[in-house]
Chain A
């Protein structure tokens, strides 16, 4: 194992064309010469993050609505802008201007706080995602762990929202959300650990670079695809989407934990859900599909050169979109699971499989039984 690890680190340091330079690196470099440039970098990255969040949210909502419509033999939004492109813009402006209601008997402070907590948890995750070698805000050396930790924070917002609304349906929804997210976090982490074992690093850009000879989904024979599937199922559950949308469960709990929210605060939950979809898709792409790394097979230089024609950012976007499509596809196809079936799936099926998979992965790494070790 140490051999392969050494190979990884050396290859990344010496011969890789993918020298990663994050925004924080640039800011740190600029600090001695001109502190103003540093500030400009910081302000720029903050603005970019804000723009990214709103753009991502809006475009994903638009895509989801269009996609759903086409799955269902409909047209979807058509009237606002060409093919309804401005539909989500109109929706956002309307939600911004909508009255903001706090129910009389709600816990006012918590009720106001919850959507921001939910939102910030997902936005924090965006900071460490490697979009391309030159576009990453910070490359934390425990990136994978950080994403898991921050992802777990989001449930606080949901729980708070359900509790503070003083509505029984909201509370049921929040309790379901807490039980579900905490359970599925375990499986998601187990799947993530498989890749960490192979890559030998927790840093997300390090994981991407470790896939220069091939993506872990196929390079780790068997365990890669199993881990990918587990990760996809667990992360769908974490984002509360069908077939795991029991916390909102429209036909059961009216609107679940955000029943009492209106206007902007409701839109925060709405946006957080879609940013979350992006984050888990980007994570699935980063961990298993090589992130911004083009499709490469170790040794086939001709293929690698052709694949390298598309810039890394494009690859990242393509893969993420693929996973997003997969998530949306399942959302508009499956019925909803029941809460105890959901728990059974996690604790009696995904978790044991995840553990076995992790052990198998450890053995494979130990004996170097994977492609291009």
Chain B
């Protein structure tokens, strides 16, 4: 049913004047999606207390944005909040959860652990340095742990992205507007390059080598191929 409805805007376009209709249909759909983001109740560490519990609490109240319907089953959730460190044992599970979610699905990485490994960056033998190594991330919310206000910043950014970026006719555009949350004139690529330059200038990490040297990413990939191929 959902798939049939997604074709509506494509069908509409074939009629004279249909593109206007299709655009407005998209606009309505995107607004609805943006305002009805149900999180997946999944937290691994301290960030979960702040991100999923405190934000639902009376002082912050995630329900104002229509996001209080935390679903326990990934099938019914719209976005996943990666709250806390992801370790190598957990990686396949996170990937599986992502694969189980129904399109359109969004991911918000909250806290330094989920973004880059944070305090566990060095000398930890299990940590994954950034959850974006396993699943695509839409919004990064920095902090250790971020304040609930920061979570709302992330949620509103995600809403803005969905309202403006994604179209039913061209799904996947939303991958780009990650930069929507960045200041004008700076792209994500710029930041990556700058980070790389800084890290390599200090001769701390050879970024390319460090990424390639992780044999376990292949393991996750194989595991995913084996278990989640048919989704």
User: Which residues of A approach B to under 8 Å, CB–CB?
Assistant: 65, 69, 72-80, 84, 87, 89-94, 96-101, 104, 250, 254-255, 258-266
Which of B3, B32, B68, B168 meets A65, CB within 8 Å? B68
Q: Using Cβ atoms and an 8 Å threshold, which residues of chain A touch B100?
A: 101
Distance in Å: Cβ of B72 to nearest Cβ of chain A: 4
Q: Are B32 and A100 in contact (CB under 8 A)?
A: no
B214 contacts the other chain (CB 8 A): no
Q: Using Cβ atoms and an 8 Å threshold, which residues of chain B touch A79?
A: 35, 64-66
Which of B61, B65, B76, B230 meets A104, CB within 8 Å? B230
Given A79-B64, A79-B66, A97-B5, CB of A266 within 8 Å of CB of B33:
no
Q: Using Cβ atoms and an 8 Å threshold, which residues of chain A touch B5?
A: 96-97
Q: Using Cβ atoms and an 8 Å threshold, which residues of chain A touch B31?
A: 90
Residues 52-92 (chain B) with a chain A CB within 8 angstroms: 57-58, 61, 63-66, 68-69, 71-73, 75-76, 78
Q: Are A98 and B104 in contact (CB under 8 A)?
A: yes
B103 contacts the other chain (CB 8 A): yes
Q: Are A73 and B58 in contact (CB under 8 A)?
A: yes
Q: Are B36 and A263 in contact (CB under 8 A)?
A: no
B207 contacts the other chain (CB 8 A): no
Residues 11-62 (chain B) with a chain A CB within 8 angstroms: 28-29, 31-33, 35-36, 57-58, 61
- Closest B residue to A264 using CB positions: B1
Q: Are A266 and B75 in contact (CB under 8 A)?
A: yes
Given A69-B63, A80-B66, CB of A91 within 8 Å of CB of B2:
no
B102 contacts the other chain (CB 8 A): yes
- Closest A residue to B57 using CB positions: A74
Given A255-B71, A263-B2, CB of A94 within 8 Å of CB of B102:
no
Q: Are B2 and A96 in contact (CB under 8 A)?
A: yes
In the assembly, what is the distance between CA of A68 and CA of B1, in Å? 31
Distance in Å: Cβ of B26 to nearest Cβ of chain A: 10
In the assembly, what is the distance between CA of A130 and CA of B1, in Å? 33
Which of B28, B65, B68, B73 meets A254, CB within 8 Å? B73
Q: Are A262 and B63 in contact (CB under 8 A)?
A: no
Q: Are B36 and A76 in contact (CB under 8 A)?
A: no
Q: Are B63 and A74 in contact (CB under 8 A)?
A: yes
Q: Are B168 and A76 in contact (CB under 8 A)?
A: no
Q: Are B102 and A255 in contact (CB under 8 A)?
A: no
Q: Using Cβ atoms and an 8 Å threshold, which residues of chain A touch B36?
A: 80, 87, 90-91, 93-94
User: Which residues of B approach A to under 8 Å, CB–CB?
Assistant: 1-3, 5-6, 28-29, 31-33, 35-36, 57-58, 61, 63-66, 68-69, 71-73, 75-76, 78, 100, 102-104, 168, 230-231
Q: Are A255 and B72 in contact (CB under 8 A)?
A: yes
10 nearest A-B residue pairs (beta carbon): A93-B32, A99-B102, A262-B75, A255-B73, A262-B102, A99-B103, A73-B58, A78-B64, A94-B36, A90-B32
Distance in Å: Cβ of A320 to nearest Cβ of chain B: 25
Which of A72, A75, A89 meets B32, CB within 8 Å? A89
Given A75-B64, A261-B76, A263-B2, CB of A97 within 8 Å of CB of B35:
no
- Closest A residue to B32 using CB positions: A93
Q: Are B78 and A94 in contact (CB under 8 A)?
A: yes
- Closest B residue to A77 using CB positions: B66
Counting chain B CB atoms within 10 Å of each CB, which of A99, A254, A259, A264 scores highest?
A: A99
Q: Using Cβ atoms and an 8 Å threshold, which residues of chain A touch B230?
A: 104
Which of A72, A96, A262 meets B76, CB within 8 Å? A262
Q: Using Cβ atoms and an 8 Å threshold, which residues of chain B touch A101?
A: 75, 100, 102, 231
Distance in Å: Cβ of A250 to nearest Cβ of chain B: 5
Q: Using Cβ atoms and an 8 Å threshold, which residues of chain A touch B64?
A: 75-79, 84
Which of B29, B71, B72, B104 meets A93, CB within 8 Å? B29
Q: Using Cβ atoms and an 8 Å threshold, which residues of chain A touch B102?
A: 98-101, 262-263
- Closest B residue to A252 using CB positions: B72
A-B contacts, 23 of them at CB < 8 A, read A69-B63, A69-B68, A74-B58, A76-B61, A76-B63, A76-B64, A78-B63, A79-B65, A87-B35, A87-B36, A94-B32, A98-B102, A98-B103, A99-B102, A100-B2, A100-B3, A101-B75, A101-B100, A259-B72, A261-B75, A264-B2, A265-B1, A266-B76
Q: Are A90 and B66 in contact (CB under 8 A)?
A: yes
Q: Using Cβ atoms and an 8 Å threshold, which residues of chain B touch A99?
A: 2-3, 102-104
Distance in Å: Cβ of A12 to nearest Cβ of chain B: 46
